[in-house]
Amino acid sequence: MSEIESPDDGAEPIATMTLPLDQWHRARGGRMVEFAGYWMPVQYEGIVAEHLWTRESAGLFDVSHMGQLYVAGEGVEPALEAVLPIDLSTLKSYAPRYSLLLDDNGGILDDLMVTRWNTGFYLVVNGATKWDDIAHLRENLPDEVTMTHLEDSALLALQGPKAVDALARIAEGDVALTDLTFMKGGTFKIAGIDAWISRSGYTGEDGFEISIPAENAAQIADLICQQPEVKPIGLGARDSLRLEAGLPLYGHDLSPETTPVSADLTFAINKRRKAEGGFPGAQRILAELTDGAPTRRVGLALEGRQAAREGAEVYTGNQKVGVLTSGGFSPSLNHPIAMGYVDVAQAAPGTALEIDVRGKRLPARVVSMPFVPHRYHR
């Protein structure tokens, strides 16, 4: 184990943690890096090759660093609606939905998935923020509501157009896996082991997220990767895939400095909540829904071959109008792309801008996202 940076208060450095599949990744040649406090595989055979394989076939991602939570108890629905801008009355059983954890000023503390499970709710939060999320929820949920951190569960994501072929061979449930559509889920068994499977993911491709007991993670990962369509895929390709899909990454494209309106995520605020408010930051967010936000998250297509990265400044002439939050070379499109926030006056598709990379101005234009069309199974 190594150590990540210690806090400014002089506390002891925190040891980098390992995931249930740590040795599994290493045995398959995974190049391990520190991410969100864990050792995780950034690549196996190469980011571009893994990216293209996922687009063409199916890739298995280990996302067990993410936080899996179960929230239940008396009054759980109004309690969750007090901290999330979601209308839980419209949430059907086993149908995940995207939502946001907001601060009192409307800033985004995290983005997450919410699913109605029996008498409670299953939440999946980002790995880098899960401890802060847990603390925030414990502080803001009433005593009658219990929150269980499902620390003994692993989470895998099988993504790509052939993911359904591979997983359908080995997953058995009350409904056929092939009958699930995008953002629907159910309980299944894989090799006799209980699994929660939803048809969802963060690559823009068809695919599934699979929650299983951590003690069985290696067995199930082996079984999935024995399918001819599947290869293990690292963090590097997961990032380039989600960027092509126009999907924001918390801590980069989303932060407490961004609101759902500036981040172009207003779909996560349900109609009733827009009318009634009653969620953190509602006053600011509802005002921005009416009057607009000063900045907007946009996609940018760059000319040439040189990529621009997070933190690069965006200009029109000599006027700085924005900053990049994600960027890289698109393996699918064969040219660089980026995501960032620009002044709303410069946010229309087709707007010509320049990105400053170490003193060199790279021509770019605002484009609609996703960069690569989503292929969800609806």
Report how far residue 244's alpha carbon sits from residue 338's, in angstroms, rounded to the nearest whole number: 9
Q: State the number of CA atoms in the 13 A half-sphere of 110 facing the CB.
A: 22
> Using one digit for the tens of pLDDT, what is the confidence trace for 93-142?
999 999 999 999 999 999 999 999 989 999 999 999 999 999 999 999 99
Fold entry, domain 294-367: Elongation Factor Tu (Ef-tu); domain 3 (2.40.30)
What is the location of CATH 3.30.1360.120 in the chain? 3-63+152-244
Q: What is the pLDDT of residue 12?
A: 59
Q: Per the structure block, which two tokens stand in for 121?
A: 């709710």
| Prior bond of 331 cis (ω within 30°) | no
59 neighbors 41 (Cβ within 8 angstroms)? no
Listed as ranges, residues in the chain with pLDDT below 70 are 1-13
What is the location of CATH 2.40.30.110 in the chain? 294-367
Fold entry, domain 3-63+152-244: Gyrase A; domain 2 (3.30.1360)
Q: What is the pLDDT of residue 4?
A: 32
Q: What is the pLDDT of residue 10?
A: 52
Q: What is the pLDDT of residue 11?
A: 53
